[in-house]
Amino acid sequence: MTEVARRYRISLPTLAAASLVLVTLALALVFFVAPNDADQGFSQRIFYFHVSIAITAYFCFGLGAWKALVHLWKRDPRADLESYVAVHQGVIFGSLVLITGSIWAKISWGHWWLWSEDQLVLFLVLFLFYAAYFMLRYSVDPGPQRANFSAVYALFGVVLIPVSFMAIRLAKQAIHPVVFTLQGPKFGGWILVTYCVAQVAMLVLAYTLYRVELAGKRVDARVRELKEVLA
Amino acid sequence: MTYVRDVGALARKDLLLELRARDTLPAMLLFVVATFVVFHFALPSGSSDLAASGLLWVAIVFTALLGVGRAFVPEREQRVLDGLVLAPCDRSAIWLGKGIATLAFLAAAEVVALPVFALFFHGLNAATVAAVVLADLGICAVGTFLGAMAVATRARDLLLPLLFLPLAIPIVIGGVGASIVASPGRYLGFLVLYDAIFALVCWASFEYVVTE
């Protein structure tokens, strides 16, 4: 099955340059422009990365599920690989959410792990779920069956996200006491600008990485195909 | 209705197989009772009833896993699944029939397991029993679906718990919540929601698991 490479409007070097500029700008804003948090001081600045990475991870999982749907619905031969790569990026960004969340929790509250943090717990569940995605994918031979299994499982993921979130919210009421309540940051001025730039930077970075991995995987598949023809 | 007849025939086939071979149910029963004994010794003496309530849910999820893991083994061994897929019936009927049979095994195991739990640990209230019934539906819906996938992979038995446990976390939260709080309405409602959502997703996408 020959996979047709998709034609993109924005070229990969442009994307890479854009993400370099945006990430640098975001770093500059986070460290030099955004004001210190009145309550948590300097350490609160990790918020700009933590939250934007989390939103980016959701986007990746969403993209993975959308491509999975395209695969099942339209039988687009390119969608399977795209879905896999999107989920892969989602897992990378999801792991970063766990790491940055842990660091933030340690500095703010003195514990590396807090069961009272909804987002952290949710990302742990999602991490376990999507880690199993790779186990599933690599224990089936490449082909239509693997594409179907991966697609169906990726779709389960987007169903699991809201359901788990509800469950974790519910669990906090009975099973775990609410120890810390995080007041919503008062958005305004440089805080908002910094957050928005960081968010856009992370999204562009994720998209760039997605395209890089996709390009690599497609070249890989093409080379293998040519080798088979030559052999 | 032919769909209902198909589902009935498939479920009946599994129940008859079990009645003759007695593969799954005795194993589930032994497993769940042995788990309770392990839990008794795992809990330090003087632990609260709340801890035991939590362990009941662990036992249920793992027992279900045992049953679900066996569900598609006969289909694999005799290549029955290929025949079923070729049969002129809706493919989701395969999932539904298998799910009903698995639910019957799980319910039968629990009919023994819940009284044993009450005997070993503490009595169970109506909310817990209701939560167990609702959780069974979700467990069997999702578990059967994933069982069909896992059985077609190389890793097979290794894979099923990895696929199933993250999806079972909401069930455990709902179940434990319902068994320990004074007004379990929200938790039971959540379990109903879980069952409805995942049953729908499984029903709609099972076709892609068995066809290419």
Contact A214/A206 with Cβ under 8 angstroms? Answer: no
Of B166, B190, B209, the CB nearest to A149: B209
Which chain A residues have a beta carbon less than 8 Å from that of B201? 155-156, 159
| Interface predicted TM-score (ipTM) | 0.90
- CATH class assigned to A12-230: mainly alpha
Hey, are the CB atoms on B194 and A144 less than 8 Å from each other? Answer: no
**Rounded to an integer, what distance in angstroms lies between the CA atom of residue A49 and that of residue A199?**
8
Q: Does B204 touch chain A (CB under 8 A)?
A: no
> By CB neighbour count within 10 A (0-12 exposed, 13-18 middle, 19+ buried), where does B32 fall?
buried
Residue A187 has pLDDT above 70, yes or no: no
pTM of the model: 0.90
Question: What pLDDT, on the 0 to 100 scale, is given for residue A178?
Answer: 47
**Confidence (pLDDT) at A1:** 47
Checking if the pLDDT of A104 tops 90, the result is no
Cβ <8 Å between B152 and A140: yes
Interface test with A, best of B144, B165, B208 (most A CBs within 10 A): B208
What integer is the mean pLDDT of A204-208?
95
Say whether residue B198 is in contact with chain A using an 8 A CB cutoff: yes
Q: B169 and A164: CB-CB below 8 Å?
A: yes
B146 torsion bin: left (phi>0), alpha (psi -120 to 50), beta (else): alpha
Q: Which residue of B has its CA nearest to A137?
A: B153
Contacts with A115 from chain B: Cβ below 8 Å:
none
Picking from A154, A69, A136, A2, the residue whose alpha carbon sits closest to that of residue B160 is A136
With a cut of 90, say whether residue A45 has pLDDT above it.
no
Q: Is B159 on the interface with A (CB under 8 A)?
A: yes
* β partners of residue A37: A41
Q: What is the 3-class SS of A144-167, one letter each residue?
A: HHHHHHHHHHHHHHHHHHHHHHHH
* DSSP character string of chain A: -PPPPPP-SS-HHHHHHHHHHHHHHHHHIIIIISPPBTTTBGGGGHHHHHHHHHHHHHHHHHHHHHHHHHHHHH--TTHHHHHHHHHHHHHHHHHHHHHHHHHHHHHHHS-S--TT-HHHHHHHHHHHHHHHHHHHHTTS-TTHHHHHHHHHHHHHHHHHHHHHHHHHHHHHHHTS-----PPPP---HHHHHHHHHHHHHHHHHHHHHHHHHHHHHHHHHHHHHHHHHH-
Could you report the per-residue pLDDT of B85-110, keeping only the tens digit for each?
888 888 999 999 999 999 999 999 99
> Could A160 and B154 be called an inter-chain contact, meaning their C-beta atoms sit closer than 8 Å?
no
- pLDDT tens-digit series, residues A73-92: 998 888 999 999 999 999 99
Considering only the beta carbons, identify the residue of B208, B211, B212 that sits closest to A151. B208
Q: Distance between CA A206 and CA A53 in Å, rounded?
A: 9
Give the orientation angle of helix A46-74 with respect to helix A79-109, to 10 degrees.
160
- pLDDT, tens digit (0-9, with 9 covering 90-100), for A174-186: 655 444 445 555 5
**Residues pairing with A41 in the sheet:** A37
**Among B153, B164, B186, which would you mutate to test the A interface (most chain A Cβ atoms within 10 Å of its Cβ)?**
B153
Cβ neighbours of A129 in B, within 8 Å? 166-167
